Each structure stands twice: as C-alpha cells, then as structure tokens.
C-alpha cells in the first residue's frame, strides 16, 4: 500500500547546492533536521551526490534544477518543492559566479553574465521566496567581504553583491508583519573551487594571514552562519553578516 511520507517540520531550498558553500549549507541544514531541496544549475550528478549524503544520514532531500535567472524555471523549482515536500520555510541563495578583471579591460559579455546570474538571479529567487516562505521562515542571500576590502579586479563582482545587499535590506522591511527574516551573509576568502581558481600558493598564504584567525574560511564556517540565521537567529533581520574571521 502506498503511503505519503510524513511532512518534515521545516523545509529549505538551497540554490547552488551541488558544491562549495551551497553543498555545506545543505548538509548543515539537513543535520539540523530540515528537509532540503538541493538546487543545481548544470551539475545534476553533484546535486544527487549531496542528496545521497543527506538521505544516508537519515535526512530527506531532493534535487531540483534550473537557471536562477530564469523566472519560469525558478517558479517551477519552487512549485516542485512545495508539491513534493509540502511547503517552504527557508530559502538560501548561494548560487553565483565570479569573473575577475580590471574595469578598463573587462569584457561586456562577462559583465552581462555576472549581472544576470548574481543580481537578476538573486532578484528572481528572492521574489519567489517572498511570495512563498511561510511565517517563521528565513531568506538568506549572499554578498561578499570584498564590498569592504575593495580588492582590485573585483569591481563588477562587488557591484552585483552590493546591489544584492541593498535589495536584501529593503525586502526585510517589505515583509513587515510576515514573521520572516531576510539577511545577507558576506563570506571572506573561503576554500571553494570558485575562490581557489587561478590563485597561486603565495596569494592564498597572504589571504590566509590577512584575517586575525590566520586561516582561510571553510565552507562549513559559512554554513554555521547560515544555520544560525535559518534557525535560532530570529532577532537578526535586515542585516549583512560578515563571516570572514575578522578580515577588515
């Protein structure tokens, strides 16, 4: 006889969860007892691997795919999560791209790509989240510590993330009365493939020494911050939390 699985008490959607920070967030939220929708853009196999790790540990997860900047695709993702798991309480938008280069030589095609994924993608995902997250829920977007450190070659990337911060702060105020928190997390240098690409050992050593804790961040460090915002951090709202080991 077919039986419908009992609904989980809380349900999360994590975009960009096939690897890096997104995967760490998905695993951390699952460890806290949330059912997790593991979103991927192109790497379904990696997302399914994350799902397998969660289910092997006794959790519940499903993989959902789609372009974060495509409103129809993401509406379908949100529909799938609601239909398959029963609702949405937490949306964590980690998906993004980073293309570095000096402004004077930066290709417009790269600029358009980074704006589409990082800014439009955040808009599309948070718009759906604002419509669907249940009372008591949380929306978490992603910025970067480079909005403060202003490293050369990060101009277009930082421009998209500064815009994300502004949009996040305003959404927190627009959701007044809904009992939904909206915050941004701004990681410092973190050992993900996206961050490590193109950096030599000397550069990585220098970045590790820049923070008072004298190491690079780990995806699990960032996941802890997200778990706080998604769970007990109910009095933190409309903020950007810098998770960077003290990097000024």
- Distance of alpha carbon 211 from alpha carbon 96, whole angstroms: 24
In whole angstroms, what is the distance from residue 31 CA to residue 57 CA?
Answer: 8
Catalytic residue among 40, 106, 154, 157: 157
- Cβ(182)–Cβ(172) below 8 Å: yes
- Give the position of tokens 């939220």: 29
* Tokens standing for residue 52: 């397998």
Q: Please indicate whether residue 106 is annotated as part of the active site.
A: no
Phi first, then psi: give them for residue 12, nearest 5 degrees.
-125, 145
Q: What is the DSSP string of 108-163?
A: HHHHHHHIIIIIIHHHHHHHHHHHHPPTT-EEEEE--THHHH--TT-HHHHHHHHH
As annotated, the active-site residues are 157
């Amino acid at each position: 006889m077919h039986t419908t699985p009992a609904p989980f008490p809380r349900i999360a959607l994590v975009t960009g969860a096939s690897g890096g920070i997104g995967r760490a967030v998905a695993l951390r939220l699952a460890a806290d007892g949330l059912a997790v929708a593991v979103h991927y853009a192109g790497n379904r196999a990696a997302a399914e691997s994350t799902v397998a790790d969660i289910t092997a540990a006794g959790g519940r997860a499903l993989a959902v795919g789609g372009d974060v900047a495509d409103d129809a695709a993401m509406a379908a993702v949100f529909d799938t999560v609601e239909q398959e798991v029963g609702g949405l309480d937490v949306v964590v938008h980690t998906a993004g791209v980073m293309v570095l280069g000096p402004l004077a030589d930066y290709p417009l095609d790269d600029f358009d790509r980074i704006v589409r994924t990082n800014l439009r993608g955040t808009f599309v995902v948070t718009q759906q989240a604002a419509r669907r997250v249940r009372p008591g829920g949380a929306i978490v977007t992603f910025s970067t510590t480079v909005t403060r450190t202003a490293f050369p070659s990060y101009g277009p990337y930082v421009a998209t993330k500064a815009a994300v911060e502004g949009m996040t702060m305003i959404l927190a105020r627009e959701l007044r009365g809904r009992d939904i928190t909206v915050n941004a997390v701004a990681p410092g240098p973190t050992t993900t493939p996206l961050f490590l690409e193109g950096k030599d050992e000397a550069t990585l050593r220098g970045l590790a020494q820049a923070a008072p804790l004298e190491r690079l961040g780990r995806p699990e460090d960032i996941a802890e911050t997200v778990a706080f915002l998604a769970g007990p951090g109910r009095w933190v709202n409309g903020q950007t939390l810098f998770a960077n080991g003290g990097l000024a």
